[in-house]
Amino acid sequence: MVSSTPWSLSWPPERNGPYTPSVPFPQRRLRRLRRTPALRELVAETRLSPVDLVAPLFVREGIDSPVEVSSLPGVHQHTLDSLRQEVAQLVDLGIKGVVLFGVPERRDAEGSGCWAPDGIVQRALRQLRDDHGEDVVAIADLCVDEYTDHGHCGIVGPDGSVDNDATLELYRRGAVAQADAGADLVAPSGMMDGQVAAIRAALDEAGHPTTGILAYAAKYASSLYGPFRDAVDVSIVDGGDRKGYQQDPRNGREALAEVAEDVSEGADIVMVKPALAYLDVISAVRAAVDVPVAAYHVSGEYAMVHAAAQRGWIDGDAVMVEHVTAIRRAGADLVLTYAARHLAERLQ
């Protein structure tokens, strides 16, 4: 065993031998660095800053003024105009990334609004590029569920299940339309097998080799997406669910298989979603890959904090900071959160 170094702060103590205090008060050792706010700040292992946060934003076709989502206090379905103002304010607050979701006026079986050149997200992307150039990272959620009349993330086959390979063709079109409109990153969230490879090939073939892919790699069939579905006015036909394509919450190792596949197919960033109930997954993914890891602090996670805070049961601001910090501590480099703006305001 290595000789003891009484001043060592490393943990566990075995690393440098046992800690043998030569003076009294050994019990004060772990509390020394917690004594003042400045000391605590100096040694904090995890920091939260606006640049770590990505704001999810909704843009809706056919409305004249923004509509607040009742289950997501402070979050709106935006018009193109109000979106423009919101992004300008986020940029002023130091936020570097926004992810766009579209709410179309009309839906069809294939979700053609996803790739229509004048689809609502494509229009929003062009506007964003015009307004901010390279000052903001424009991320486009890439899925068809907001645009399909049945609410599934792909083409529904005769047996009612989602056809994997036929759906890839839709994602290829969506990715190219979003890149044409100026997306820096496309973010496939449909959990079809092979989606990252299909999208990478489509982008390259269309002359968009610099458009990146933020892959929703480990995305679970979670019950925490309810308020999001209010925000995009989506309900799945016949009371259906996404368990045939999204991951089973009981599985952790499977997330690593999903992540490995997405990285090998060309994902530039991998994402775990939801976040708080999957901190173990975030931590395992962080240890397994070298690409940046994102986590999506989803609608239900945000709504629960607001609901409890409204009843006066918790301090909502403090819990939100604690939650998002915990997601970072678990290993997420970036956090997609509906609290992005509010947190950024607090962090000024």
Could you list the active site residues? 219, 273
Nearer to ligand PBG, 6 or 73 (CB): 73
Contact (Cβ atoms closer than 8 angstroms) between residue 84 and residue 132: no
Closest approach, Cβ 295 to ligand PBG, in A, equals 12
Rounded CA-CA distance 348/194 in Å is 41
Q: Return all residues near 214 (Cβ < 8 A) that are at least 6 apart.
A: 139, 185, 186, 187, 267, 268, 269, 271, 294
The CA distance from 259 to 251, in Å, is 13
The answer to whether 147 and 104 are in contact (CB under 8 A) is yes
Place of tokens 């050149």: 117
Nearer to ligand PBG, 99 or 289 (CB): 99
**Phi and psi for 307 in degrees, rounded to 5?**
-65, -45
CB of 179 to ligand PBG, least distance (A): 18
If the CB atoms of residues 82 and 189 are measured against ligand PBG, the closer one turns out to be: 189
Tokens of 274: 């939801």
In the complex, the smallest distance separating the C-beta of residue 157 from ligand PBG, rounded to whole angstroms, is 19
Residue 226 CB, nearest distance to ligand PBG (Å)? Answer: 7
Query: With respect to ligand PBG, which residue has the nearer C-beta, 131 or 193?
Result: 193
Q: How far is the CB of 74 from ligand PBG (least distance, A)?
A: 14
* CA–CA gap between residue 255 and residue 266 (Å, rounded): 17
Binding site for ligand PBG (CB under 6 A): 141, 143, 145, 189, 225, 228, 242, 298-299
Calpha distance 15→208 (Å, rounded): 50
Of 60 and 242, nearer to ligand PBG (C-beta) is 242
CA distance linking residue 331 with residue 285, whole number of Å = 8
Instruction: Decide if 192 contacts 245 (C-beta within 8 A).
Output: yes
- In the complex with ligand PBG, the residue whose CB is nearer, 16 or 185, is 185
CB of 225 to ligand PBG, least distance (A): 4
* Full DSSP string of 133-200: GGGSEEEEEE-STTTBSS--SS-B-TTSSB-HHHHHHHHHHHHHHHHHTT-SEEEE-S--TTHHHHHH
**Position with the least CB separation from ligand PBG:** 228
